[in-house]
Structure 1
Amino acid sequence: MISVIRAFRNEVLKFRRWSVLAVAGAMLVVSTFIAYLTFHQIASGSTGREMTGLIAAFNTPQGLVSIIGQARSVIIAIALVMVTANLAAEWSQGTLRNLLICEPRRLRWLAGKMLALVLFVLLSMLLTLLISGTFILVIAQGQGIQTDAWTSPEGLQVFLAFLGNEVLCLIGVSALGMLIAVLTRSVAAAVGIALAYMLVVEGIIAVVLPQVTQWFPGRVFNTIVGTAVPLVGPTPLQGYPAALGAALLWIVGFVVVAAVVFPRQDINA
């Protein structure tokens, strides 16, 4: 356990790098901008089929979450890239060999590193949601729009349900990114494969086999959030309990496979 904590602390120190902070900053800025655009469209009276649900929910307890939740795809993509690139870089930059000299018990090092990465991803997501939500509240009140429903006990309950499912979603995405990084051992390949799978592959297969892809990891992680707030993601066709169970199984599966493969890999650099 001490070696896991040591690896965790060493990894946390790396988050002070400007490149890492820049990625978290990009998540915050882009997500807030998307939330503002969504709010502006609703407040300015824009119409359209894609706006119907958002307009209907605007003055309800789900109003704020439905607005800031429109940036979920950005948050998920950045989180996936953050974890995958950071872990795969240990091979690409040739630093893994030195790290394993200091901590030869590979799984303990991997556990500490992943704990740090997941914590950073979750804190970045939480900060993004809080800042973008506060920004929208301030803008709405400045325009004289009633926000009592958003900050009511029911509105807070909706936000917490959304946040809890989003945490599970990002943990699942991080586990997927970890497995892809361990298997590819290359930043370019890991990031490319991870994004292609999440953004393209599952979507293409879903056109042909929708009943099958509802159990795929990307779909499962995405739809559990839609249960709390349907406007920020699709609702799981198989029901929330089944989708939640599948998400947990995928996470465990990713961790187990990575734990089996990683100790058996040759470290050449």
Structure 2
Amino acid sequence: MTTISATTAAPSHAVASSPGLVKTIRSEWIRVWRPSFRYGGFGILALFSILISYFIYSSLADPSAATGPPGPAGAATTAADLEQAGGMIYPLGTISTLAGIVVLSLWAIAAASDYDTGLIRVLVQAQPSRLRLLGGKIIALSLFTVLLSAVTVLVTSAVARPLARAYEIDTEPWKTDAAAEMASGFFNFLVPVLVWGLIGLMIAVLTRSSGTAIGVGIGWLLVVEGLIGIWAPDITHLLPGGTLSALAAGGTSDLSWASALGLTLLYGAITTSVSLFVFRNRDIVS
């Protein structure tokens, strides 16, 4: 009895009747918007936003304190950092690293769970175009991440004013170009977080394991880049973690905003290309 491999080309009538990209995105969105993702993702990042903002403001409660806790890109936070245009979203630079870990984990789980459950075979049969299938997943996860980032920015901004009032931070400069500052902060937060998600997706596609993908991603950020920083501190700002943090901070002394954006987009393009290439050409096995 002849068996047909999952990599065998689908019949022409199956390809012709395969779902379009919009239907694929809708199908992926339904699975992404499940309660565990929705409540877990939004709840965790909202909690992080509140806690980190509180920590930053409360640590500056003593007017005689010269500096506060580390802020974006490791720079020490001062009251002056908060008392400037866009100061209401200043904590986003610090929140972005934790948000990146959360989004990396969610994207890795979304990709690897299809292999863990064997659902990937059903999905490939329903949508023979693998590029369209994975592309639909990437778009659905990106839309989810946009919403996640928007809520994080809004929560950070919402808790800023009561915290500033409690710890006597001057909020008058916040009125200067507030809309433009919010839009800029949202962009600088969203792009690095999206790339963290793409990194998680790539590792999950390569390993077919959410646990491995999450472990490798977090291990790289917390351990590997730290070790590289000991031996070659001059290049740490060019590594993924350093680059994405620099963009979230709006640029640093080591890496300008434009350079950070360019490198971030390059990392995003590389991870997306690797994911699509591997997913398209590798056998589907349970």
What TM-score do you get using the length of structure 2 for normalisation?
0.82
For the Cα contact (< 8 Å) 1:83–1:117, is it kept in 2?
yes
Range with bigger deviation, 80-89 or 215-224: 215-224
Which residue identity does 1:32 align to in structure 2?
A: I
1:131 partner letter: V
Gaps of 5+ in 1: 229-234
Q: Measure how far apart 1:102 and its partner are.
A: 0.7
Aligned partners of 1:60 and 1:149 also within 8 Å? yes
Are positions 1:87 and 2:104 aligned together?
A: no
- Deviation per CA, 1:8-39, whole angstroms, max 9, x where unpaired? 10121124422112322111112212212222
**8 A contact 2:92–2:248 mirrored in 1:** no
Identity of paired residues, percent? 26
Instruction: Classify 1:132/1:12 alpha carbon distance in 2 versus 1 (closer, same or farther; 3 Å).
Output: same
Q: 1:107 aligns with which of 114, 117, 131?
A: 131
Distance in 2 between the 1:33 and 1:53 partners?
Answer: 16
Q: The residue matched to 1:60 in structure 2 has which SS?
A: coil
Contact 1:35–1:69 (CA under 8 A) maintained in structure 2: no
Instruction: Select between 32-41 and 132-141 the one with higher mean Cα deviation.
Output: 132-141
- Cα 1:6–1:131, aligned 2, differ >3 Å: closer, same or farther? same
Instruction: Kindly report which structure 2 residues correspond to 1:89-168, keeping only aligned pairs within 5 A, or say none.
Output: 89-141=113-165, 146-153=170-177, 155-168=178-191
Asked if 1 retains the 8 angstrom alpha-carbon contact of 2:60 and 2:167, the reply is no
Residue in structure 2 matched with residue 232 of structure 1 by the alignment: none
Deviation by residue 1:166-190 (Cα, 9 ceiling, x = unmatched) = 2221222122112111100011111
Alignment partner of 2:51 out of 28, 33, 38: 33
- Are 1:150 and 1:156, in contact at CA under 8 Å, matched by a contact in 2? no
Q: How many residues are paired up?
A: 262
1:33-52 equivalence runs, <5 A: 33-43=51-61, 45=63, 47=65, 49-51=67-69
- The aligned amino acid for 2:95 is A
Q: Is the 8 A contact 1:88 1:182 kept in 2?
A: yes
Maintained 8 Å contact 1:224/1:236: no
Higher-Rg member (1/2): 2
Mapped partners of 1:244, 1:166: distance in 2: 11
Identify which of 195, 198, 218 aligns with 1:195. Answer: 218
Q: Structure 2: which 5+ residue stretches go unaligned?
A: 1-17, 70-75
Distance between the aligned counterparts of 1:252 and 1:143, measured in 2?
A: 43
User: Does the 8 Å contact 1:214/1:236 carry over to 2?
Assistant: no
CA deviations on 1:46-83 (whole Å, 9 max, x unpaired) are 72544563212232214222235432222111111111
Please state which structure has a larger fraction of its residues in helix: 1
1:211-226 correspondence to structure 2 within 5 Å: 211-226=234-249
Aligned residue for 1:61, secondary structure, equals: coil
After superposition, the Cα gap between the structure-2 partners of 1:217 and 1:139, relative to the gap in structure 1 and judged at 3 Å, is: closer
Q: Identify the residue that residue 281 of structure 2 maps to in structure 1.
A: 264
Structure 1 counterpart of 2:200, from 177, 183, 190: 177
Indicate which of 231, 256, 261 corresponds to 1:244: 261
Is the contact between residue 176 and residue 254 of structure 1 (CA under 8 Å) also seen in structure 2? Answer: yes
1:236 shift after superposition? 5.8
Residue 68 of structure 1 contacts residue 133 of structure 1 at CA under 8 Å; is this kept in 2?
no
Partner secondary structure for residue 128 of structure 2 = coil
Change (3 A) 1:198 1:227: same
Q: Secondary structure at the match of 1:116?
A: helix
In the alignment, is the contact (CA less than 8 A) between 2:60 and 2:68 conserved in 1?
Answer: no
- The secondary structure found in structure 1 opposite 2:250 is helix
Distance, in Å, in 1 between the alignment partners of 2:183 and 2:89 is 10
Which region of structure 1 is more displaced relative to structure 2, 143-152 or 28-37?
143-152
RMSD of Structure 2 on Structure 1 (CA): 2.3
